[in-house]
Structure 1
Amino acid sequence: MEEQSRTDKNILRKGIKRLVICLVLMFLGPTLVHLTLSNDDKPLYIPLLIVSILLCILAIVMLFIGLNTIMDSMFKRNN
């Protein structure tokens, strides 16, 4: 008998949460980059620029992790 593969709902839920976090970071990072670059005479220019670039990188990483988690929930077989 062949088992039907089903989507693991708990892993799918975890992947969707990661994509929601990614969505928030996708708006927060570039907005902070724009605000930082428009105020380059402020004393916190360099630290804010570093934090905003890290947020942009984290958004990309969370996108790949979230999509990988969703793909795992759909196509991996539990033995």
Structure 2
Amino acid sequence: MSTKRTNKDVLVLGLKRLAIAIVLLFAGPTLLYVVVSNKEKPFYIPLLIISLLICALAIYFIFKGIKTLISSVFD
């Protein structure tokens, strides 16, 4: 009889993705706040796009990390 065990390699990958998401969760909104408070600067639009992409990447890594964690436990 085979017992189901957690795939540790996939679990570590999921935890790494969540760690990246945490860093991006702090970096994205912080950069967005700095950009929005300085609208008269010449790099307003490029930095605004970059900060919004960082926020979107944070959401992506959250979902991928949770999905990876769940698949490591239940597959």
1:8 maps to what in 2? 7
Please, which runs of 5 or more residues in structure 1 have no aligned partner? none
Q: For 2:8 and 2:57, how far apart are their aligned partners in 1? A: 25
RMSD of aligned Cα (Å): 0.5
Alignment length, in residue pairs?
Answer: 75
Displaced runs of 4+ in structure 1, greater than 6 A? none
Does residue 51 of the first structure (1) align with residue 50 of the second (2)?
yes
Q: CA deviation at 1:4?
A: 1.3
Please, which runs of 5 or more residues in structure 2 have no aligned partner? none
TM norm structure 2: 0.98
Q: SS at the partner of 2:4?
A: coil
Q: For 1:25 and 1:54, how far apart are their aligned partners in 2? A: 10
TM norm structure 1: 0.93
1:31 maps to what in 2? 30
Structure index of larger Rg: 1
Q: CA deviation at 1:69?
A: 0.4
| Equivalent position amino acid for 1:16 in 2 | L
2:74 maps to what in 1? 75
User: Comparing both structures, which one devotes a greater share of its residues to helix?
Assistant: 2
